[in-house]
A and B are shown apart, each in its own frame.
Chain A
Amino acid sequence: MAEQSKRIFGIDLGTTYSSIAYVDEFGKAVIIPNAENERVMPSVVFFDEDSIVVGDVAKESSKLYPNEVVSFVKRSMGEPNFVFLHNSEEYRAEEISAYILKKLAQDAEQYLGEKVTDVVITCPAYFGINEREATRKAGEIAGFNVRQIINEPTAAAIAYGAMDTNNERVVLVYDLGGGTFDITMIDIRKDSVEVICTGGDHNLGGKDWDDRIVAYMVEIFQNETGTEEDILDDPDTWQDLQLSAEKAKKILSQRPKTPISVTHGGERIKMTLDREKFQEITEDLLERTIEFTREMLEEAESKGYKTFDEIILVGGATRMPHVTERIQEEFSITPKIFNPDEAVAKGAAIYGWKLSLNDDLIERLSRKTNKQIQQIDEISEMIDNKEISTKDFKDAAQEVANETGYTLPSVERSMLKVKNVTSKSFGIVAHTANDQEIVFNIVLRNTTVPITRKKTFYTAVVDQKTVLICIMESETSQVEIPLTHAVEIKTAILNLPPNLPADLPIEITFVLNEEGRLHITAVEKAESRQVDVMVDTASVIQGEALEKAKERSQNLVVH
């Protein structure tokens, strides 16, 4: 076999479990088990004296060393004030996530005997700009070249679509993971995977079901022992109950009842939790997912999608039988449970694989057509526009196929288009006619990305030096909304040249790329000068802290 094209790995960085996948020599997506031979690894990090342990061992350690173990860190991604203290060193969520990524990659390297350099990482569709940026940073701290951040439901749909490429259909991806819930409508076609609409809650997941069991156990314990003490104040007990609750939930997905025991302060209470009780104490959570689904369907309808062909269930928490039952009751359609733990990582791997094949194709086409590599971006568009001849393309594809050993159709299909929508609306703080501050949304949510939108502003005074722009993120589809309904994500300062008149138009351009990342440019219109824009993401690790985290990570082996 000739020179291998660069392998791009797919990583599902989950709230409770993570996994890594690649596409093997036969073009099949394969999960790579870790050193402990698990296909999915708990996203738990244990700071053991001077080494860092990730995965099952860390999770088990949480009972013994509750204060040295970090779990569910994904829920704090992009939260500037989350900090984990260990040996008086401060760790941010990004850095802790980097350790999880590192462990996945390290074990994969051992398994395959090849270096992991380029990765595609997934995140919930519902993640905003800060959380996405934080996810990318986590990858960088771990030392990867992060090729793209893609949405989990999109990845799942890619994995699903890859199984059977002939059938064009609209699917609803109901993704109930460990910590987040996403509901996404996706149009799968022969040559594209297009997200129509998305919604969800990044504080709703399997863990909430666990928490209900924990609360229930505490209640029973208090009743039986007559104590009024909050036994969850004891970190050991808390962790112990949290682990037993997760176990109980999993057992209840298989069997009608499970015994559980609570041990605290030398007292031990045994109880039985049956499925009926479990469903009773968690009914409202399930109801919320249904409500989100209804809302999303309403929005999809306004985009012309009135029906869908199937519902696929992704995420470990969809294994709970009442999820399927409730969905069936609500939508009168039997949902398909599709590889719930592995679909996302596999989809990301397939996406990465296509990226790398596409790289090869572009390189070859550039040699054939004497065009710069940078000039070739959308191959299919260029074929349509006759910028590239069909023959050149066929030849290039055949060459790539010969060289990599993959079949010609799969190389040709590597041009699969993935269209995404933004899950949030973006706008800026503006003043109304009666000088009230509002948020003016420039890009509305569920708009297909990439997108470029322009808006003209005017300077207020003569010789104005700077313009401060507050970029706001929100979750409505209205154009004008009150300040309280949005959250500031970035501030940009326009430095203006001196001696400008007042009321000078300045055109601000919002460019939202495929990944939902925002870039801003501004042009001063009178003399068409490009104006400097400084943008900083408010709450993501940066500067000195980022450098320090990178350095720490470089010298670190995780176990």
Chain B
Amino acid sequence: MQRENYYILLDLTIDPPENDPNAIEAAILQKKAEWSRLRNHPTKGLQAQKFINMIPDMEKVMRDEALRKQEADAAAAALQKGKESKISEIDSHIDILMGKGYIAHEDIARLAEIHGLEASDIQERITAKKSDQYIRVDQQINLRMGKGYLTEAEVSKIARQNSMEPEEIRKRIRCPIIKDEKEAGDLKLRPLDKSIEKAINDNLKVIGKLSLYDFLRAAENSDLEILQEKAAQKKKELAASGKKDAMVTAGNILAGHCLTIFKTNDTRIAYDASLAMAKLAALDSDINVAAANSTIRHEYVDILIRKAMKFGMDRQEAADYLRDYCQKKKYRIESKPEKKRMRLVFAASATLAIGLLVIAAVIFSSIHKKHSLAAEYDRVIQSVEAQTEAEKKIQILEKYVKSHMAEGMAADAAKRISEIKSATDAERFNRFLKETDALVQAGDYQKALDLYKQKLQSATDADSKKTINGMIQKVLGLSEQKDFEQVTAVSLTGSPDQKMDTFQRYLADHPEGKNIDKVKALVNEISGEYFIYVNKQLAVYDQSEKWEDGLNLCRKYIDTYDNSNSDRLKQLVPVYEEKIRSEKIFAGLVQKANALGTDYAGALEIFKDYLEAYPDTSVKNKIQKEIERLDGLLAAQSTEKAEQDIRAQLAKTGGRFIERAGGVVVDTKTGLMWGIMDSTVTQTATKCLTYDEGKKYIKNLKTGGFTDWRLPTPAELTGIYASAFPSTGAKTYWTSENYTGYADGWHVMVDTVSTEDSIHWEIIRKDSLECGAVRAVRKP
């Protein structure tokens, strides 16, 4: 497979070739980065990886003067002949020829040369198809397989056409054969998913193969087992290769596809159907090319029909196909003179064959050299005429003139160049006028005007300038008219701000418009109405603290009018300015505070200081909110710290207490679950709880998502503290044991677990109104 040209791949200029080492290095780096980015693209990733792998060679070639020159020459050659596009054209043509079956040895050699393959490779592909006759049969079958099945009628038709037994045809068919179209609905065919089809084709492109059969080097009618075997073998082959480059990766992916597609007959039929459809797509593209002006000339009709027949259709089918396709695409088919039909057909196919040879000759003759001057010039003219783009024509001719300064044909070539140039200039100008006219018609005056002005600057001849100036005047008039119509419409029905906007836009866009006085009068008319709007709007802005918007609105009124209303608004301007200033200061404070990160205490200080210095600031409310927020954060932070302290202590208990998600701890000895935190940590506002508050606290507790927390018994509580359960500093914990101290039940005593030194804990009975803490427990 021929590799990509580096000049083209790197987007370097070719005529004259880029030779600046810095520019080339920069281009390589740029492309390297681009391909690296595309390295993981879902569909282009492999292509990018292939290019990345080419970089070492690319660097070698582009850094070596001689190799680089060779590369530039090749690039120029490829570009001028439009080689790549031509080759694919020939490819498709020769594919058809090969389908016919009668291919001469010379054809094979040429095919091989074009593909850069060995002649034996081509030969192998051809012989793989057993016999010439079968090729045609297979083609006819394949074409019809596109729909996923064949009907009995089709089978016998193919048999008849090839004078073969239907049985023999059936043997070659790999999809279901049904009685008639009615049965098709019952088949439940699953077409190959389009995205898989695309993935397969993308990867085939990377390794330069035509189909999965081609990839496995197997005939299209091979048995499933053989294909499976070949796929597995292919995969092993690829695995053996140490280079994991794009080609191998693509091969691996394809082998994977082969393993699944050639697993069952259904999936294989689906793939074959998609292959058949792809072949028809090639025919479609030929029809599209022929239909230059949505009309197919009668000369082309026969060529296309012949071509369709080469895909395996019979004449009637081909004609039907062409007709249906053209109907769908809305192409007109020119009717043909009836008498000369047969001869035309022959002439057309002869033309096709000759055309192929000519094109092939143009491409390969440069290798075989030595022609007379006249013949060479003829060839130049031929290749010029083969070009559709004027620029390329000129390029070719100019190159000829340059290299044949003194010779007779150079003058003719120069003349042709100037002819082409003036023709293209005129054509371009006409196209420009047409395009801009379309914009004007569509009402896009501004864009049209921009284009005219641009053109006016680049235009050189007086005629064009005059035309353009005329157009500009015309469009200006049209645009003014349209805008004034809008002004009139809005002045009747619009809201005050719409009116103001429309009027002012008119004044700005048409400083010399013919209705300018009328519009100015309209502006003056709405001064009162607009002032009322401004006031309403300012109230809205004040509400949402959009000071900047308020200021702008005031200024807009002041700039437009000079009356008592504008004087009133002028007094508002400094007020707004002050508010904006305060807002900025507040933003500054927030930024400063944010910069401190989790130092919430420091941040709190900043806001408090400012409020102390400017107690009447207009952002007082915001600052107070910020202070509240930070207070909350500070509290949360201290809780977190306490939590970490406790965790560290828990770790020292030798695995007796194990932390679980959600802030709970499990005692591995008793199986009880405890909250990591006690009420002194979670209750930030009051560290002290009375017994009743403690009970309420436990009722509302939802630590770890559990709601069945309870007060511990004295034994449970002393049990954990005797085993070095971490202390939070609380000296007294309420337990579930309580006693009514007096007969009237008013006075309640509670057993607490208390300590003096956070190490030794004992059960002490205390008054329920005393200060205590709660540590919650539950039985999981």
Contact = CB atoms under 8 A, between A and B. Distances in A.
Interface string B755-775: 000000000000000000000
B411 interface: no
Interface in B635-688: 644, 651-652, 654-655, 658
Contacts of A85: 29-30, 33
Contacts of A486: 242-243
Given A291-B232, A474-B242, A219 B42 contact: no
Interface string A63-93: 0000100011001100111111100001000
B199 A219 contact: no
B256 A472 contact: no
Contacts of B252: 201, 203-204, 288
Contact of B37 (A67, A284, A285, A485): A67
A219 B236 contact: no
B55 A81 contact: yes
B236 A472 contact: no
A480 to B, nearest CB: 13
Contact of A281 (B193, B242, B256): B193
Nearest to B32: A83
Given A242-B42, A287-B259, A405-B654, A219 B243 contact: no
Contacts of A242: 42
A232 B41 CA distance: 8
B399 interface: no
B42 A232 contact: yes
A134 to B, nearest CB: 15
Interface in B20-46: 29-30, 32-33, 36-37, 39-45
Contact of A84 (B37, B42, B651): B37
A281 B243 CA distance: 27
A305 interface: no
Nearest to B194: A219
A225 to B, nearest CB: 14
Nearest to A88: B29
Contacts of A26: 655, 658
Interface stretch (A208-216, A462-470, A492-500): A208-216
Given A201-B252, A219-B198, A487 B56 contact: no
B52 A81 contact: yes
Contact of B52 (A79, A219, A288): A79
B256 A75 contact: no
Given A81-B55, A83-B33, A215-B198, A71 B40 contact: yes
Contacts of A67: 37
B239 interface: yes
A238 B42 contact: yes
Contacts of B30: 85
A334 B55 CA distance: 47
B249 interface: yes
A287 B242 contact: no
Interface in A308-344: none
A83 B651 CA distance: 46
Given A25-B651, A75-B39, A76-B39, A212 B32 contact: no
Given A475-B242, A485-B240, A232 B260 contact: no
Contacts of B170: none
A243 to B, nearest CB: 12
- Bin the interface of chain A by size: 35 or more
Interface in A385-419: 405
B242 A284 contact: no
B259 A288 contact: yes
Contacts of B198: 215, 219
A218 interface: yes
Contacts of B37: 67, 84
Which of B36, B259, B260 has the most chain A CB atoms inside 10 A of its CB?
A: B36
Nearest to A477: B240
A476 interface: yes
A325 to B, nearest CB: 15
A202 B241 CA distance: 14
Nearest to A212: B195
A207 interface: yes
Contacts of B196: 212, 280-281, 284
Contacts of B32: 81, 83
Which of B52, B235, B241, B249 has the most chain A CB atoms inside 10 A of its CB?
A: B241
Contacts of A203: 244, 249, 252
B61 to A, nearest CB: 15
A264 to B, nearest CB: 14
Interface string B217-244: 0000000000000001001100111111
A85 B30 CA distance: 8
A288 B234 CA distance: 12
B16 to A, nearest CB: 28
Contacts of B644: 113
Given A83-B29, A215-B198, A288-B256, A238 B242 contact: no
A81 B56 contact: yes
B595 to A, nearest CB: 14
A85 B429 CA distance: 42
B193 A82 contact: no
A284 B260 contact: yes
Interface string B257-300: 10111000000000000000000000000000000000000000
A484 B241 CA distance: 7
Contacts of B655: 25-26
A215 B42 contact: yes
A210 B42 contact: yes
A85 to B, nearest CB: 4
A83 to B, nearest CB: 5
Contacts of B260: 283-284, 287
Contacts of B239: 295, 475
Nearest to B644: A113
Given A76-B39, A287-B260, A487-B242, A295 B195 contact: no
B259 A284 contact: yes
Contacts of B240: 474-476, 481, 485
Nearest to A238: B41
A400 to B, nearest CB: 17
Contact of B36 (A76, A113, A219): A76
Interface of B: 29-30, 32-33, 36-37, 39-45, 52-53, 55-56, 193-196, 198-199, 232, 235-236, 239-244, 249, 252-253, 255-257, 259-261, 644, 651-652, 654-655, 658
18 contacts: A71-B40, A76-B39, A81-B53, A82-B52, A207-B40, A215-B43, A215-B195, A223-B194, A232-B42, A232-B44, A277-B193, A284-B253, A285-B256, A287-B259, A291-B256, A291-B259, A475-B242, A476-B240
Interface of A: 1, 24-26, 67, 71-72, 75-76, 79-85, 90, 113, 201-204, 207, 210-212, 214-216, 218-219, 223, 230, 232, 238, 241-242, 245, 277, 280-281, 283-285, 287-288, 291, 295, 405, 424, 472-476, 481, 484-487
Closest 4 CB pairs of A and B: A474-B242, A211-B42, A215-B195, A284-B256
Given A85-B29, A85-B33, 18 more contacts: A25-B655, A76-B36, A81-B32, A81-B36, A204-B252, A211-B43, A212-B195, A212-B199, A214-B43, A218-B43, A283-B260, A284-B260, A285-B256, A287-B256, A288-B255, A288-B256, A474-B240, A485-B242
